[in-house]
Copies of this chain bind each other. A is one copy, B any other.
Amino acid sequence: MKLIIAYINPFRLDEIRDALKEAGVSGLTAINAQGFGRQSGHTETYRGAEYEVDMVPKVRIEVLVDDTLAPTVIDTIESTARTGSIGDGKIAVLPVEDVIRIRTGERGNDAL
């Protein structure tokens, strides 16, 4: 099993979730985050004081999937999130040793 993490632009969340649903993913978890990267930040001005803020709002989604579905999930996120401009985000794939569904106690792929 894998844990797939993606840092995406907040306004793409709905689309990506719908695409993943269609691709067969049964769940995901989204968190509001602040990202720093190549994408430039913005200027804020308060009473004449200008600040360069280089953290931009991002959403971090994470999806637990079994190994066979992993490539599809990555492709789906990639194709739905890509706009071609800096800040589209990144995907990371981490190994997962076990997954448990709390409600039933199922483990491993069954828990997904």
User: Chain B contacts of A92 at CB under 8 A?
Assistant: 1, 3, 64, 96, 98-100
User: Chain B contacts of A31 at CB under 8 A?
Assistant: 31-34, 60
For the complex, count residues of A whose C-beta is within 8 A of B: 55
Proximity string of chain A (73-87) to chain B, C-beta cutoff 8 Å, 1 when within and 0 when not: 010011001111111
Expressed in whole angstroms, the Cα–Cα distance for A5 and B31 within the complex equals: 14
A interface, CB within 8 angstroms of B: 1-3, 5-8, 17, 21, 26-38, 54-55, 58, 60, 64, 74, 77-78, 81-103, 105, 111
Q: Contacts A21-B36, A30-B34, A93-B96 given; 15 further ones with Cβ under 8 A?
A: A2-B97, A6-B102, A27-B36, A29-B35, A30-B33, A30-B36, A32-B32, A83-B103, A89-B103, A90-B99, A90-B101, A90-B102, A91-B100, A92-B98, A95-B97
